[in-house]
A and B are shown apart, each in its own frame.
Chain A
Amino acid sequence: MGWRRAAISGVGVSRQGKLPDETPNSLAAEAFVAALDDAGLRRENVDGLLTMPGTKSPEGAKHYLALGEQLGINPRITGSLSMGGATAGVLIQQAALAIDAGMASTVACVFGDTAKTGGSRFNAAAGTDTDSWGIWGMFGNAANSAFGAQRHMARYGTTSEQLGWVAVTMREHAALNPDAIMRERITLDDHQSSRMIVDPLHLLDCCIISDGAVAVIVTSPERARDARSAPVDIWGMGQGHTLEKLGRPDWWYLPHQADCVSDAYRMAGVSPADIDVAQLYDNFTISVLFWLEHAGFCAPGEAGPFVEGGKRIRLGGDLPVNTAGGNLSESYMQGWLHVVEGVRQLRGECGPRQVDGARLCLVTGRGMTLNTASCLILGGTA
């Protein structure tokens, strides 16, 4: 069952946090070396390089050139892509398709950033160059998600306290992850009393900002079975994008997220009930609620009650979510660490935060002005 024509054979994570002596590409190289080691590969085995430039990468769409030179790779396939939090999933999908088509055998997908040291504020105004939303004071990523949160609250009775349970639960998980940046437990009162950023989103509804890098090695299932670490197969993949913003009345509700997950379910031949653990993109707490609804774990409008008290989404619950702490508490690697945690859960490597018997993991990503979404369904073989 499942597509399973490509697999993840290695994951590598650089140091995370504030790393003022590093560059996006020095961190990316650190993660790449760690991923090679995890897979038991040599650099010469890698014949594909797909990259995501960091917010502080100067190269933009030519990022693959600089990183490939740094890593000494002359690949059969390469390129760079900027789709925000959806990029990790999309690049892994491109790698999987290239491998299935025989265009490459082992592809490294790499992201590195110095957003913390570089002072990335994620405060750009959306809209067009000439009709900027900044004319009306609409800046930054939080405001877009806050529009969605406000409307979800008005339509379905969702509350700020319910969003707070997402923050509290992700922090509980991070407390069990020695590599997480924010490990000190928080309470619902801490969430409620944290300062307002863009009402209805408080500070503790927002992800952290970090320096760091992640690399993921994608190869054929056959090659993955020779790797040092247990292989994780790609069962299903999907994308969905709403590139119009004001042009779509339901842009705020991100309908493309449902499209991308349903494609992945169909390809994997599974349903929400089959998923053992989920890594749901959490740039803001509200995003977890949207994903729970779009991925079919609850009906539209019911994600507020679903997350209340944290019982169902915490370790030991019906659907453990973001078991490493997510963007909210582990580190803000724009969804790349969600893939890494999915792989580690399916290998059974997660120690005190391990989900017993985890066999299938849903991983989602989403980016830009709510526009892009990607989904992977990963299956363990351990």
Chain B
Amino acid sequence: MSDGGFVRPVRTEVNRGFWEGVDDGVLRVQRCLGCGELRYPPASRCPRCLDAEWTWQPVSGRGEVLSYVVVHQRYHPAWSDRVPYNVVLVQLDEGPRLISNVLPLSGADLRVGMAVRVVFDDEDGVRVPRFVSTDGTDGATEPN
């Protein structure tokens, strides 16, 4: 993390596979070699069975919006000129949940239960996973 600038992911032995996947345009989560559980956020052991062995498992990147908010308050310098922007809680089809955004960031057309698909967005030189709506489509076509 940095003061004032974009909050950057800090790559560690545990999360490196996630962010390297993002660099390559693939959303991956950890799959526990003990019990098979898919997990996010990255962790050194499985919160279900406590096994310490894992592999990186590509996921479809499809899911639904469990909930969303639109931030109006200027909490952080890197985000102050972007308010209002959305933050979403996404439930991936494969199970794990993650915090992200739906593009466009200022888009007001969000709803709980909305179908979304991952995209990879450049943020100050760092690739981050975000989502776009696939409501009303089969999700197979690229937006834009």
Contacts and interface: CB of A to CB of B under 8 A. Distances in A.
Nearest to A134: B7
Nearest to B9: A135
A246 B97 contact: yes
Given A127-B41, A130-B9, A252-B66, A140 B84 contact: no
Given A199-B84, A249-B97, A131 B41 contact: yes
A137 B6 CA distance: 9
A142 interface: yes
Contact of B72 (A121, A133, A196, A244): A196
A41 to B, nearest CB: 44
Given A127-B99, A196-B70, A246 B41 contact: yes
Contacts, number: 114
Contacts of A196: 70, 72, 84
Interface residues of A, number: 37
Contact of B96 (A125, A129, A140, A246): A246
A130 B91 contact: no
A198 interface: yes
Nearest to B11: A130
A285 to B, nearest CB: 15
B84 to A, nearest CB: 7
A39 B75 CA distance: 43
Given A147-B89, A151-B67, A198-B71, A130 B7 contact: no
Contacts of A131: 9, 15, 18, 41-42
Interface string A126-156: 0111111111111110110011101100110
Contacts of A187: none
Contacts of B101: 136-137
B contact patch SS:
loop
A252 B101 CA distance: 17
Interface string A200-213: 10000000000000
B69 A150 contact: yes
Contacts of B97: 246, 249
B8 A135 contact: yes
A137 B72 CA distance: 11
B113 interface: yes
Nearest to A133: B99
A318 B111 CA distance: 35
A247 B39 contact: yes
Residue among B1, B82, B99, B105 having the largest count of chain A Cβ atoms under 10 Å? B99
A131 B84 CA distance: 23
A148 B67 contact: yes
B15 A130 contact: yes
B59 interface: no
Indicate the member of A128, A150, A196, A197 with the most B CB atoms within 10 Å.
Answer: A150
Contacts of B56: none
A130 B67 contact: no
Contacts of B79: 137, 139
Interface string B32-47: 0000000111100001
A148 B10 CA distance: 28
For the complex of A and B, the 3 pairs showing the least CB-CB separation, nearest first, are: A154-B112, A134-B7, A139-B75
Interface of A: 121, 123, 125, 127-140, 142-143, 146-148, 150-151, 154-155, 195-200, 244, 246-247, 249, 252
28 contacts: A121-B75, A127-B99, A130-B15, A130-B42, A131-B41, A131-B42, A133-B99, A134-B1, A135-B7, A135-B8, A135-B128, A136-B87, A136-B128, A137-B105, A138-B71, A138-B99, A139-B71, A139-B76, A147-B89, A148-B67, A150-B69, A154-B111, A198-B72, A199-B69, A200-B69, A244-B47, A246-B97, A252-B66
Given A129-B10, A131-B41, A150-B112, 15 more contacts: A131-B9, A132-B9, A135-B128, A137-B79, A143-B87, A147-B69, A150-B67, A196-B84, A197-B72, A198-B69, A198-B71, A198-B73, A199-B71, A246-B40, A252-B66
